[in-house]
Structure 1
Amino acid sequence: KLAIGAYLDTNNSGYARVFEFDEYSQYWVQQGNDVYGEIGSGFSGSSVSLSGDGYLLAVGNNGVKANELSVENRGNVKIYGYIGNVWYRLGDLDGEYTKDYFGSSVSVSKDGKILAIGAILHNEKGAVYIYEHLGRVWKMVDKLTGERK
């Protein structure tokens, strides 16, 4: 399985898609629906990652405005589960600060229980947030920060 992001599509709101290789036809076939960004300049799909079984998808939205007060580029990551040929939203993880670009990179562990999220401009040094999936919630268990600007 393969996840792709097209963060500049549709007013820069972006989207993500998942494909699976069909051995019979020798083509990549889309798995489920497109996962669309919700707002212009949200850059949904700026990063994407799948669990090893391909049933958990993390989608970075590093340009997302946190609220209507235009707290820009805080970013977030949306998490989706694949059930019955449909991607369902399971939750969101939001960036801490303005201009962090949280979600600029994402990586889901093979078993889907650990999620690493990059924020390339956190305190102008960058940071990686580590989350663990505990039942229905994702809990931040560590944060690694860069040493230099």
Structure 2
Amino acid sequence: MKLSTLLIIGSAALLSACQSSQPSLSDKGAQELGNIRHLCILTRTKDPNPGLNEKIAHALQQHGISSETVEVPANRQRLYEPECRYNLRYNSQGRGDKLNYISLLIRTPEYPVASLRAHPNFKTADQQAEVDQIVSRLLNKK
């Protein structure tokens, strides 16, 4: 009985830690996030949420970070040029108001800088405001 209770409590604690809305930062991540002035946002070939990259770009702009969209299949070399030192990759599950999660990763060609997996509430909140909050957390601003 005690063992099963401990297993349930341990599993719940582990699950809640995995669903944290705090960004995962690399060793120099916090320092590097403050230095980012431009990001290249990678497009997805089969994006179930078209327009999400524009919402992310708008959220970045509020933090003084300019961005450009890079189509990876057609322009992969662009990611290795100095202007695209930092790139942002995103993934999502669900569509429109039924978005289950957004996963964001900022990286350089050599290593990851910061990542975050968030569960937006698009049903009751303004989508842009929700993406703004998620990007703020990714950038370690909130």
TM-score past 0.5 threshold = no
Structure number with the bigger relative contact order (C-alpha 8 A, sep ≥ 6) is 2
Q: Which of the pair is proportionally richer in helix?
A: 2
Q: Which of the pair is proportionally richer in strand?
A: 1
